[in-house]
Structure 1
Amino acid sequence: MADTSAVRYVTYIGSSAERVWHALTDADATGAYWGHSNVSDWKAGSTWEHQRTDGTRTADVVGTVLESAPPTRLVSTWVLPGADPTGEAASRVTFDIQPYDGIVRLTMTHENLPSDAEREKAAHGWAAVLSNLKTYVETGNPLPQEPWRMP
């Protein structure tokens, strides 16, 4: 039986694994295509924050880095601020970066989502963010509009 509490998204990017890793872990890069800066030292056991780029640096999501194997694998928990980032309520996001002859297959898996509504919301959001990441890595610029705002 398929795990209905998870979202998986796969995309192929004309780039190196190192550039994709950088796009996922560099605060300035994530701020450019995500609208939030992902801030951490990205070492296993470290915390991370998904901070707004509106000048407030408000963290809308926080978590703990569970695995960090640059440039091919990053696993972290995701929770709302104030929740236990290692508790049972935390969801888990895995990025697998597989290079192959000048391209990269990026597989994102978001597990342990609490409801069908949250899974649907995550599926929509991840498709938009990862499409924007792909464009950013391949061209140096994000899409001209934030794709998650598209009705």
Structure 2
Amino acid sequence: MNASSEFGYVLYIEAAPERVWHALTDADLTGDYWGHRNVSDWTAGARWEHQRTDGSGVADVVGTVVTADPPRHLAMTFEDPAATETSRPPLVTFRIDPHSATSRLTLTHEHLPTPADHAAAARGWPAVLSNLKSVLETGHVLSRAPWEMTDDL
């Protein structure tokens, strides 16, 4: 495996695994903290779409649910709808483990084809998951979407 093909991230959330699962799979809630609605019936083999919240219905990412074991494990392919078919599509896996009175959420994004894709994952996933953590722990998203923030002060 080359250094750019996988990205992993772990965070702890003060919420039960069932709430974390709900936050990952509820279209309206993902729209609030992710800026896109994740739409699917969340069963193995089902299609899922990462749809814009502007009402256009445009899906910027699509894929297939590979594994759905609520509330502990969700895996799905993560593909650009305009990309040509690859033999090994990128795969995103969420593992939710109870950890005392919290949950440990482990994200793995595998089969990233280029260093640029790895860099995008390394920028995007911490931002999205920080916003997910904020909404579950405080009831509201961050005052500004983390992916819109720059390092400039």
Please classify the TM superposition score into its range, dividing by the shorter chain length. over 0.9
Report the secondary structure of 2:124's partner residue: helix
Q: Which runs of 5+ in 2 are unaligned?
A: none
The answer to whether the aligner puts 1:57 opposite 2:57 as a matched pair is: yes
Q: Quote how far apart the aligned CAs of 1:4 are.
A: 3.0
For 2:89, the equivalent position in structure 1 comes to: 90
Q: 1:98 to 1:3 in 2, by over 3 A?
A: farther
* 1:2-151 matches, cutoff 5 A: 3-83=3-83, 87-151=86-150
Instruction: Supply the distance in 1 between the matched residues of 2:40 and 2:25 (Cα, whole angstroms).
Output: 8
Conserved 8 A contact 1:92-1:111? yes
TM-score by length of 1: 0.94
Report the secondary structure of 1:80's partner residue: coil
Q: Quote how far apart the aligned CAs of 1:139 are.
A: 1.1
Conserved 8 A contact 1:63-1:79? yes
Instruction: Supply the distance in 2 between the matched residues of 1:3 and 1:88 (Cα, whole angstroms).
Output: 19
Instruction: Supply the distance in 2 between the matched residues of 1:124 and 1:89 (Cα, whole angstroms).
Output: 22
Q: Quote how far apart the aligned CAs of 1:56 are.
A: 0.7
Conserved 8 A contact 1:77-1:91? yes
Instruction: Supply the distance in 1 between the matched residues of 2:97 and 2:132 (Cα, whole angstroms).
Output: 16
C-alpha offsets along residues 83-119 of structure 1, whole Å, 9 cap, x if unaligned?
Answer: 477x425200000000122100000000001111110
TM-score by length of 2: 0.93
Alignment root-mean-square deviation, CA: 1.5
Tell me the matched-pair count.
150
User: After TM superposition, where is structure 1 displaced by more than 2 Å over at least 4 residues in a row?
Assistant: 1-4, 82-85
Percentage identity across paired residues of the two chains: 55
Instruction: Supply the distance in 2 between the matched residues of 1:116 and 1:84 (Cα, whole angstroms).
Output: 18
The letter of the residue matching 2:120 is K
The letter of the residue matching 2:62 is V
